[in-house]
Structures are given as C-alpha cells and as structure tokens.
Amino acid sequence: MLGIKGRKPAAVVIEPIARTLLRARISPNMVTIVGALCACIVAIALIPQGHLVWAAILTALFTATDMIDGTMARLRGGGTKFGATLDATCDRITDGALFAAITWWLVYSYDAPGILVVSALVVTVSSQVISYVKARGEASGFTINGGLVERPERLIVGLLGIGLHGLGVPYAVDIAMYLLAIGSVFTVIQRLIIASRDPRACDTIKPPAGAPDSQQLQPEHTA
C-alpha cells in the first residue's frame, strides 16, 4: 500500500544520494548487496541481545537502500533483469533475518507467550509467501498489484514495534506482531484471490520438457 505512495516524498532525499553514488562509480547492485548485508548483520547482532532501539534505527537506514538502488537504476536509464532478481532476493533475505531475529529475541529474552511466538513465526513465513505469490503469479502472466501488508508496511510496523518497546512502551512489540500476523495472512489470501480472478487463471500450462503428456498417461486397452 505504501510502496508507490511513499516514493515521491522520499525522492527529494533519495535522488541526490543516488546521483552522488553514481558519480562515485558505485553500481546499483553494489548498493543492493551492501545494504542487505548490513541490515542482516544489524538485525542478527543487535536484536537477540536486546538492543532494540539501535536495531530499529540502523535496520531502517540500511533497508532504505532499497529505494536508493532503484533510483540509481532509473537514473542510469533503467534497471536490468538480473538487478531486479538480485534486489528481490536480497529483500527476502533481509526480511527473513529481521523477523527471525525478532522471533529469537521473543523466545529467549522476552519470555513471550506461545501465541506471540506463533504470531512472529507466521510473520516470518508469510513475509516470504506474500512476495512469492506475486512473483509466481506474474511468471504465469497474472497482474497482481497491491495488498494490505506489503514490504514497507511490514518493515515500518515491525521496526516501530521493537523500537517503541526498547523505549519502554508496553506491549508495543506484541501489538506489532499480532497486527502483522493477521495482516500478512490476509494479504496472502488477498493475492491468491486476485490471481484466481485473472482471466488467464484457468489456462492450462505446458508440462515440463520430457514429461509424458496426457495421451501417454492414458491406460492401454488390451483385447
């Protein structure tokens, strides 16, 4: 929901940074890799140790590179297919590291109730599934846009939850995980419904190369 709407206001800050990096001969792919690596290190190193405020701030800064690399690619005349694949891959790794670290902290430091741990696990898994449904649907020729909880919403709510908890706000992380769990499951279902209503949803797909076709699978009739 916030992905497209948030780009225009952010462009005022992001575009000058992107231009500076391009002048320094730094490629968008380099920014993608470094940003994802730093975000993962921060999440894994700080969150399980309970340094939640710094983890939230630094993770937010490093995940902002997701906008910088895209702007750099646009300024260079357009991104590449490999760049888009790399960016999506790094996003999934970063999301997984962040919510896995939060789950670890909930279990071993927060003494969270079982339902909260389950909610965090649901968020960790569904954050991958939401993106996969879109990617697989588009590979099948569907148009799957939007969703209640996309990556920006996940990051904002998740980081706000741990950051506010680190500042002493009671139940901030609990509320964040419950909201994300419900919203993420809803978004998976929402995107599957969008895919099922696509005009091409019932089109048959070709079997993989070398696989037997339907005629070969029919039983032979013997006299």
Please give the domain boundaries of the chain with CATH numbers for all domains. 6-200 (1.20.120.1760)
Measure the CA angle with vertex 129, ends 206 and 209; round to 5°: 20
Mean pLDDT, the chain, whole residue set: 91
Q: Which residue ranges are tagged as binding site for a CDP-1,2-diacyl-sn-glycerol?
A: 29-32, 70, 74, 80
Q: Are 113 and 93 in contact (CB under 8 A)?
A: no
Question: What would the pLDDT profile of 7-48 be if each residue is shown by its tens digit?
Answer: 566 778 899 999 999 999 999 999 999 999 999 999 999 999
What are the binding residues for Mg(2+)?
A: 66, 69, 87, 91
b/e map of 112-145 (b: 16 or more CB within 10 Å)?
Answer: beeebeebbbbbbbbbebbbebbeebeeeebebe
Residue 95 a catalytic site member? no
Query: Helices in the chain by DSSP H: which ranges?
Result: 2-5, 7-23, 28-46, 52-63, 65-75, 81-108, 114-139, 151-166, 172-196, 214-217
**pLDDT tens digits along 56-108:** 999 999 998 888 999 999 999 888 999 999 999 999 999 999 999 999 999 99
Q: Do 150 and 3 touch, CB atoms closer than 8 A? A: yes
Query: Is the pTM higher than 0.85?
Result: yes
Catalytic residue (one of 91, 111, 174, 203): 91
pLDDT band at 221 (very low <50, low <70, confident <90, very high): low
